[in-house]
Structure 1
Amino acid sequence: MILPDGYSDVPAGKIAAVVTHLEMTAPPARRDDPPGAWSLAKIDAPALDWYRDLFRRVGEEWLWFSRARMTDTELAAIINAPGIEIYTLVVDGRDEGLLELDFREPGQCELVYFGVTAGLIGTGAARFLMNRALDLAWSHNLRRVWVHTCTFDHPAAVAFYQRSGFRPFRRQIEIADDPRLDGTAPRDAAKHVPVIE
Structure 2
Amino acid sequence: MTRIVTYVEMTDRSQLVPGAAVPGMALVTADRDLALIAELMARIGAPYQWRSARRSPQEWEEWFAEHPDRTCCLLTVADEPVGVVCYDLRAGGDVEIRTFGLLPEFTGRGLGGHALTLAIRRGWELVPGVRRVWLHTSSADNPNALPNYHRRGFDTFKTEEDDG
Alignment TM-score > 0.5, same fold: yes
| Alignment partner of 1:112 is 2:104 | no
Q: Give distance in 2, aligned partners of 1:101 and 1:150.
A: 18
Q: Give distance in 1, aligned partners of 2:48 and 2:68.
A: 28
Contact 1:78–1:84 under 8 Å retained in 2: no
- Which residue of 129, 151, 157 maps to 2:115? 129
User: Could you tell me how far 1:164 is from its partner in structure 2?
Assistant: 0.9
Contact 1:83–1:104 under 8 Å retained in 2: no
| Alignment partner of 1:58 is 2:44 | yes
Matched AA of 2:139: T
Matched AA of 1:75: W
1:97-108 matched pairs, under 5 angstroms: 97-108=83-94
Task: Tell me whether 153-162 or 35-44 shows the greater mean CA deviation.
Answer: 35-44
User: Could you tell me how far 1:68 is from its partner in structure 2?
Assistant: 4.0
Report how many aligned residue pairs link the two structures: 160
| Alignment partner of 1:85 is 2:71 | yes
Q: 1:126 to 1:83 in 2, by over 3 A?
A: same
Q: Give distance in 1, aligned partners of 2:4 and 2:22.
A: 33
Q: Give distance in 1, aligned partners of 2:142 and 2:88.
A: 22
Q: Give distance in 2, aligned partners of 1:68 and 1:121.
A: 17
Q: Percent identity?
A: 26
Q: SS where residue 95 of structure 1 aligns? A: strand
Q: Give distance in 1, aligned partners of 2:22 and 2:38.
A: 29
Q: SS where residue 103 of structure 1 aligns? A: strand
Tell me the equivalent position of 1:146. Answer: 134
Larger Rg: 1
User: Could you tell me how far 1:144 is from its partner in structure 2?
Assistant: 1.3
Q: SS where residue 33 of structure 2 aligns? A: coil
| Stretches of structure 2 lacking an aligned partner (at least 5 in a row) | none
- Which residue of 129, 145, 148 maps to 1:160? 148
- TM-score normalised to the size of structure 1? 0.72
User: Could you tell me how far 1:97 is from its partner in structure 2?
Assistant: 0.2
Matched AA of 1:136: R
Higher relative contact order (CA 8 A, sep 6+): 2
Higher helix share: 2
Tell me the equivalent position of 2:161. Answer: 173
- Which residue of 23, 27, 32 maps to 1:36? 23
User: Could you tell me how far 1:88 is from its partner in structure 2?
Assistant: 0.8
| Stretches of structure 1 lacking an aligned partner (at least 5 in a row) | 1-14, 177-197
Matched AA of 1:144: R
Q: SS where residue 102 of structure 1 aligns? A: strand
Matched AA of 1:169: F
Q: 1:29 to 1:151 in 2, by over 3 A?
A: closer
RMSD: 2.0
Q: Give distance in 2, aligned partners of 1:35 and 1:75.
A: 31
Task: Tell me whether 89-98 or 147-156 shows the greater mean CA deviation.
Answer: 89-98
Q: SS where residue 86 of structure 1 aligns? A: strand
Q: 1:128 to 1:59 in 2, by over 3 A?
A: same
